[in-house]
Amino acid sequence: MCTKIGDTVICVNNSDLRVNLKGNPPALVLYEKYKIKGMNFCDCGRVSYDVGLPSIGSVGTVCVRCNHMLPNNDIHWCASERFVTEFTNEHLEAAVKEEQYELAAVIRDELNK
Ligand SMILES: [Zn+2]
pLDDT digits over 34-69, tens only?
A: 999 999 999 999 999 999 987 766 567 888 789 888
Q: Does the residue 40 lie in any domain?
A: yes
Q: State the distance from the centre of ligand 1 to the C-alpha of 80, rounded, in angstroms.
A: 12
Q: Does 80 score more than 60 pLDDT?
A: yes
Q: How confident is the model at residue 18 (pLDDT cuts 50, 70, 90)?
A: low
**Running DSSP on this structure, what letter comes out for residue 102?**
H
Residue 95's φ and ψ, nearest 5 degrees, are -65, -40
Q: Which pLDDT does position 85 carry in this prediction?
A: 93
Q: Which pLDDT does position 109 carry in this prediction?
A: 93
Q: Does the residue 105 lie in any domain?
A: no
Q: Does the residue 1 lie in any domain?
A: no
Q: Does 25 score more than 60 pLDDT?
A: no
Q: Does the residue 39 lie in any domain?
A: yes
Q: Which residues surround ligand 1, an ion (CB under 5 A)?
A: 42, 44, 46, 63, 65-66, 68
Q: Does the residue 72 lie in any domain?
A: yes
Q: Which pLDDT does position 24 carry in this prediction?
A: 56
Q: Does 23 score more than 60 pLDDT?
A: no
Count of domains forming the chain: 1
Range of the domain at 31: 8-86
Taking each helix axis as running N to C, give the angle between helix 101-111 and helix 89-97, from 0 to 180 degrees, rounded to the nearest 10: 170
Q: State the distance from the centre of ligand 1 to the C-alpha of 87, rounded, in angstroms.
A: 27
